[in-house]
Amino acid sequence: MEFAQQQERAILSCNFHDYLRLAREWFLAGKEHYGVIVSYRQYAGKELGKLLQVVLKLLNDVTAEEMHNTVRLLDEFAR
């Protein structure tokens, strides 16, 4: 989280529980971040193309300003 914040970048992770907890800790500490994107689904092997499609949909639908200090569920964009 520290590195992503310093680089002004959002984080993308399929480690849903840990990053949701980290985002909550940052919120409670009053720290700013550039977004956390999490997924319940684990993408591997042949599914990496699907992951790319879903991430591109998110990037087309959500601005950097809208990502600021938010947590987004990647699975919402898989539809």
Secondary structure (3-state) at 72:
strand
**Which of 19, 53, 54 shows the shortest CA–CA distance to 33?**
19
Backbone torsions φ then ψ of 42, nearest 5 degrees: -95, 125
Q: pLDDT tens digits, residue range 14-35?
A: 999 999 999 999 999 999 999 9
The whole model's pTM is what? 0.87
Question: Which residues lie closer than 8 Å to 77 by C-beta, 6 or more apart?
Answer: 54, 55, 57, 58, 61
pLDDT of residue 61: 96
pLDDT above 80: residue 79: no
Residue spans per domain, the chain: 2-77
pLDDT of residue 46: 85
Q: Would you place residue 10 in the very low, low, confident or very high pLDDT band (cuts 50, 70, 90)?
A: very high
Number of helices and strands in the chain (H, E): 4, 3
Q: pLDDT tens digits, residue range 36-71?
A: 999 988 888 888 889 999 999 999 999 999 999 999
